[in-house]
Chains A and B, each alone.
Chain A
């Protein structure tokens, strides 16, 4: 059985998909987009980014659409879009589970309401 290179999808991979879900971009634009989307929380090193782009291209998650000098612009494919939506669903489910769990804990007075709001607020930006 062949190795599934996209399971599990990493946080960096997810944000690359998110950026390309919005519009077509070249490498440096993707790194900048991820940095802005996450308020500098997630920085993509060029080696990591190139490694992700190569894997995505091999797995037909993204495709090259144009080349300008040494810069290559990528677009998300249908497979990539499905992968992104599935991951989004999974994360929503995770968030839902976490909120439900927190409400149980709230009743035990172990976690403050402010913490729950903070966590949910952060995740809802996805």
Chain B
């Protein structure tokens, strides 16, 4: 009869695992197979099996060592990750290690090489985690990114960071504790309470991983990106497109998309794409982004850059929050600025039918940057433009977009 049991121990708790396996063997359950998440046991009348887990890969054992083990009644059972499992059914066979000193030295030697791995792993996760955190949607400048990734993506980022920290901390702490046990000669007894605690930790880790995965899947399946030439055949709902806003400049962008060359002293390379998205906070959204990806001597050019979007959030509150966050970013307002609300109100303009409308202009280097914000209920229309045209001259296009609910 085969019985499956989860093994909740990490790599550095091999001595607890050993104690757990010995306890099960005493009750007549012998380990037969090792799976990814659980071990398989067979019922047996043999109650005197003993196990020893050595934190070393099978190929790292010398032939002589394995022969010595075998001659003394110890046989290899299986290999898992960086551990090798031995067993003995002979009650007269001496323990693998009969003096504490040799056991301690043996383990210390084998654990030393893991220490560097753990240190490197923690460093990599720290840098990666910090990088992920800084790139989190809330820190992005463009509302397209903000809205496309929104709150859900922030959760998935956080979940991923948490998972990485949890996995590494558990391994690192496990190794330090193991080292302490070895140096102090402590015996690892796997009591029922300890086993239950480890199982709970395993379940918690599993929940974190599952949440991270679900959040990531929903985020990525909820958005799509159309780039390059495919934009011309795009028939889905769209915001106010650049070709509608400024047909002349659109031709220029199209023509200059591939014209960039390092051999010329002048040149510009454009990129543009369309987004459509849907996720937990965003019912439906689409955006267009036109920007110069690379340019030489661009100060001599009046290069247009354009971002336009239409989003329908799942709640008015989220739409308002997102818009305010975008305005703050565009105006370079400090998050804790007490005048923030007033400054947002100062740029408001009168647009009939809109719950909020704002226009903001600023000079950055040699370019005039223009921003338009419209919100009606949960729907947001946003435009950013830098170029020869005036955004306000085409205001009606965006108002129409705000009112045309069927576009989304």
Q: Do A and B bind each other?
A: yes
Binding site for B on A (CB under 8 A): 10-12, 27-28, 31, 42-52, 55, 69-72
The answer to the question of B68 belonging to the interface, with a C-beta cut-off of 8 Å to chain A, is: yes
A11 and B65 CA atoms in complex are apart in Å by 21
Contact A28 B106 (CB under 8 A): no
Chain A residues within an 8 Å CB radius of B106? 47, 51
Tell me whether A48 and B99 are in contact in the complex, defined as CB-CB below 8 angstroms, given that A27-B64, A70-B66, A70-B67 are known contacts: yes
Note all chain B residues with C-beta closer than 8 A to A43: 94, 98
Interface-forming stretch among B69-77, B360-368, B399-407?
A: B69-77
Instruction: For chain B, residues 24 to 77, give those with C-beta under 8 angstroms from any C-beta of chain A.
Output: 52, 54, 63-69, 71-72, 74
A51 touches B98 (CB 8 A): no
- Assuming the A-B contacts A44-B94, A47-B97, A50-B64, are A12 and B102 also in contact, with contact meaning beta carbons closer than 8 angstroms in the complex? yes
Contact among B68, B97, B101, B103 with A27 in the assembled complex (CB-CB below 8 Å): B68
Q: Name the contact of A48 in the complex, choosing from B66, B74, B98 (C-beta under 8 A).
A: B98
Interface size on B, residues (CB 8 A): 23
CA separation between A48 and B107, bound complex, in Å?
11
Is B226 interfacial (CB 8 A cutoff)? no
- Shortest B87–chain A CB gap in Å is 13
Decide yes or no whether B96 CB sits under 8 A from chain A.
Answer: yes
Q: Which of B101, B103, B106 is the most central at the interface, judged by chain A CB atoms within 10 Å of its CB?
A: B101
CA distance A45 to B95 in the complex (A): 5
Q: By the criterion CB–CB under 8 Å, are A28 and B98 in contact?
A: no
Most buried by A among B65, B68, B72, B99: B68
- The CA of A52 and the CA of B71, in the complex, are separated in Å by 17
Among B65, B96, B103, B105, max chain A CB count under 10 A is at B65
Judged by DSSP, the binding face of A is: helix
Task: Say whether B72 contacts A46, CB under 8 Å.
Answer: yes
Q: Could you tell me the distance in whole angstroms from the C-beta of A49 to the nearest C-beta in chain B?
A: 6
- Determine the residue in chain A with the shortest Cβ distance to B69: A46
Is the pair A50, B68 in contact by a Cβ cutoff of 8 Å? yes
Q: Are B68 and A28 in contact (CB under 8 A)?
A: yes
Q: A43-B94, A45-B95 are in contact. Are A27 and B67 (CB under 8 A)?
A: yes
Task: Check if A28 sits within 8 Å of B102, measured CB to CB.
Answer: no
Contact B101 A10 (CB under 8 A): yes
How long is the Cα–Cα vector from A49 to B72 in the complex, in angstroms?
A: 11
Question: Which residues of B (294-322) have their CB < 8 Å from a CB of A?
Answer: none
**Distance, CA A11 to CA B101, complexed state (A):** 11
Q: Which residues of B contact A55 (CB under 8 A)?
A: 105
B63 neighbours in A (Cβ, 8 Å): 70
B340 to chain A, nearest CB (A): 64
28 A–B pairs (Cβ distance < 8 Å), ordered by A:
A10-B99, A11-B99, A27-B68, A27-B71, A28-B71, A31-B72, A31-B94, A43-B94, A45-B94, A45-B97, A45-B99, A46-B65, A46-B74, A46-B94, A47-B96, A47-B102, A47-B103, A47-B106, A48-B103, A49-B68, A50-B64, A51-B102, A52-B102, A55-B105, A70-B64, A70-B66, A71-B64, A71-B67
Q: Do the beta carbons of B64 and A48 come within 8 Å of each other?
A: no
Chain A contacts of B96 at CB under 8 A? 45-48
In the bound complex, do residue B67 and residue A12 qualify as a contact, i.e. CB atoms below 8 Å apart? no
The CA-CA distance from A28 to B93 in the complex, in Å, is: 12
Contact A12 B65, CB 8 Å, known A45-B72, A46-B72: no
Report A-chain residues with C-beta under 8 Å of the C-beta of B99.
Answer: 10-12, 45, 48
